[in-house]
Structures are given as structure tokens and as C-alpha cells.
Amino acid sequence: MQRGRFCVTGNTRWLTAFLIVIAVQSIGVFTLDAVGVISLSSSAFPWLATVLGAFLFGFAIVLAGSCATGTYYRAGESLVGSWLALIFYALFSAISKTGVLATGVSGLRSVTVEASTVHGLLGVSPWLLIAVLASAVGLLTRHHLRKRPGAHLATLPPRKRGIAHIIFEKQWGEFTTALVIAALAILAWPLSWATGREAGLGITGPSSNIVNYFVSGDAEVIDWGVYLVIGILTGAFIAAKGSGEFRIRIPDAVTTVRSIAGGALMGISASLAGGCTIGNAMVNTASFQLQGWMAFGFMILGTGAATRLFITGPSKARSARNAAAREGAGQGAAAPGSPSQTAPGHRTARVSVRR
């Protein structure tokens, strides 16, 4: 993940990569189910909590700077902002799952409808849905591979050779990363099953379990999922260290506040929706559960709303102000054609404020 810069909140190329993970994984999951290694169970669909939680979650991941998994691996990369987001995320998911907010959360989650899976609702074989999904994903992938700028893309000068270069330096393409993750996500099912935890990949449950363990000392809650998230953390640490990308990075004041607020909101909303980006949008979608797809859709809506509010909106406003200031100042400040290389004194408008 660290090497592929895996991030769900990124953009449409990543969204395609994400859909690859779902499609490949659903083939694996239903095959495993068919041969009897695992058995997919279904329960009633808590639509209200899912819609609400997923929208809030989409909102929260923009605030926190990444989704739950992203927070884990960025924390391993030593971004202090992600440490804060992670701590508050785990804390608030424990509060919402087993703490003071648990009654509210389970109350909202008790509002259900009987239908639970997409194929069950439509009355068709899941394999039909898999075929449709796989072909759509195939077309999208081809579209993105075609418009890839390829050779024009600037790359960093290599410092390592051979295997070490491929593992630690070369940027992993998002589609390669997607295939690796899909393979891991499929593997996760029987592995987790073998330990008695009957589910696929998950992040929120284990995070809450860790907090419960620390607080109550009850070792029973340490399950496969807990080892998984600890694995993500150490894996990202090793990857970042090996790539020379490990350095404790302190966020600025705004980022700090956003990380804390985003992490806390992420914990509550993931518990409401019944999963984070991974548990719901990647794993529950692969088994074609209504909760997964509904959450996926509302997560994207929430992310879009927050992006407009916190990123593109303010950015457009600043650009407009900058343009107006430039017009007003005439040719004075940004005298064109000046041949000299300018010292740090000559900086663009927003630069001097930030460090």
C-alpha cells in the first residue's frame, strides 16, 4: 500500500483501481463460497444508519486527509497528523461500538429492511452481477491505460538497483497495486475464517478492539483483524524506511485540527455505516451486499461534498482573489520579462504565509 500510494480518496484513476479490487475479489469470494471454504451469510440491511454513516464517513476522510486504511499506512510513514487521526478514529469507533454512543448507533442500525444482497433483491445469480461488473471495470481500465501519459512522466533519479529498486523505489502503478490488494483481500477470507473470525478484511472493528484491549486488558478481543491492522502499520513503516521516505512530519495547525476532527468523525460514522472504506466499500461490495454498495455510493457523495467545501471551493475563491489582486497591482509586483533569477523574496502570493 505504501509503495503504491494506495488511496481511495484520490481521483477517478484510483476509483477505477478500487473497482478492480472489488471485481477481482468478488470472483474470488464467490468461488470460495461455492467450494465451501467460506459461507457468506446475510443479515437484514440497516439502510438508515448505512446512508447516514457512509455520507459522514465520506466527509470525514477528506478532513482527516485519508480513509481509515490510508491513515494506518500514513501513520506508518510517520505523518504526525495521521497519528492523531488514527488515535481519535480508534477511540471514537470504540466509543460508538461499545461505549457511551453504542446505544444510539445500534438504535439507528436497527432500522432495517429485509433485503440484504443485490442479487437476492434482483433475484439473479451473483455470477451475472460479477460478469457485468467485470466487463464494466475492464472497459474503464482500458480507457485509463490509453490516456496514460507514459514516457512524458517525470520520475525521480534511481538510487538503488535490481530487486531493491523495484520494491522500494519504482512507483507501483495503481492497477498493479489493485491486483495485489485484491489477491490479499481474497486471501483474507479463508485466513480470517481459519481463526474463527468469519469475515473478510476489516479495519474499524479491529481498531475498536485494540482500544478495548488497552482499556479492559481483555485479550479475547485480539483477533485476526487486530494483527492485520498492526501489520499494515508495520508494513508501511518498513516500506517507508526502505525507501528513505521515513521522517517524522509535523502538520501545520489547520491540518492538525482537521486530522483530529476527521479521525473522530470517521470512527463514529464507520461504526454507523457498519464499516469503513475497506469493510464496506471494498469487501461488502464484493459479496454484493446492499450495505456495501449503498455505503460506497454515499461515501463518494460525502467525499464530493467535503471536497467542494474544504478544497476546491476555497481554492477557487483564492484564485479569483489572486487574479483580482494581480489586475489591481498592474505590472508592478509581477514585472514580466525580468531576466534575473529571483531570491526567496520573490514568491507567489500564498507562499510566504506557509512553512
Interface pattern 131-170 for another protein (x via CB under 8 A)? ------------------x--xxxxxx-x-----------
Task: Note whether 37 binds another protein by CB under 8 A.
Answer: no
Among 142, 215, 315, 324, the residue binding another protein under the rule CB under 8 A is 315
Backbone angles phi, psi at 44, to 5 degrees: -60, 155
CA angle 18, 22, 28 (to 5 degrees): 140
Cβ of residue 230: shortest distance to another protein, in angstroms?
Answer: 21
Task: Note whether 110 binds another protein by CB under 8 A.
Answer: no
Cβ of residue 138: shortest distance to another protein, in angstroms?
Answer: 23
Q: Which three cell numbers, joined as nine digits, stand for 288?
A: 454484493
Q: Which three cell numbers, joined as nine digits, stand for 332?
A: 508592478
- Binders in 5-34 for another protein, by CB under 8 A: 5, 7, 10
Q: Could you count the other beta carbons within 10 Å of the beta carbon of residue 232?
A: 22
Task: Note whether 175 binds another protein by CB under 8 A.
Answer: no
- Binders in 195-234 for another protein, by CB under 8 A: none
- Rounded CA-CA distance 16/65 in Å is 20
Cβ of residue 306: shortest distance to another protein, in angstroms?
Answer: 12
Displacement of CA 307 from its chain's centroid (Å): 15
Closest of 197, 277, 274 to residue 10, by C-alpha: 277
Interface pattern 246-285 for another protein (x via CB under 8 A)? xx-xxxx--x------------------------------
Angle between helices 204-216 and 253-273 (to 10 degrees): 100
Can you name the residues that pair with 113 across neighbouring β-strands? 45
Task: Note whether 328 binds another protein by CB under 8 A.
Answer: no
Cβ of residue 43: shortest distance to another protein, in angstroms?
Answer: 36
Q: Which range in 24-32, 134-142, 201-209, 244-252 contacts another protein by CB under 8 A? A: 244-252
- Rounded CA-CA distance 186/184 in Å is 5
Q: Cβ(94)–Cβ(204) under 8 Å?
A: no
Q: Please, what's the largest Cα pairwise distance for the chain?
A: 75
Residue 336 three-state SS: coil
Q: Which range in 41-49, 190-198, 296-304, 313-321 contacts another protein by CB under 8 A? A: 313-321
Task: Note whether 351 binds another protein by CB under 8 A.
Answer: yes
Q: Which three cell numbers, joined as nine digits, stand for 286?
A: 464484493
Q: Which residues bind another protein (CB under 8 A)?
A: 2, 5, 7, 10, 65-66, 74, 77-79, 81-82, 149, 152-157, 159, 171, 240, 244-247, 249-252, 255, 311-312, 315, 318-319, 322-323, 326, 334, 336-342, 344, 346-351, 354-355
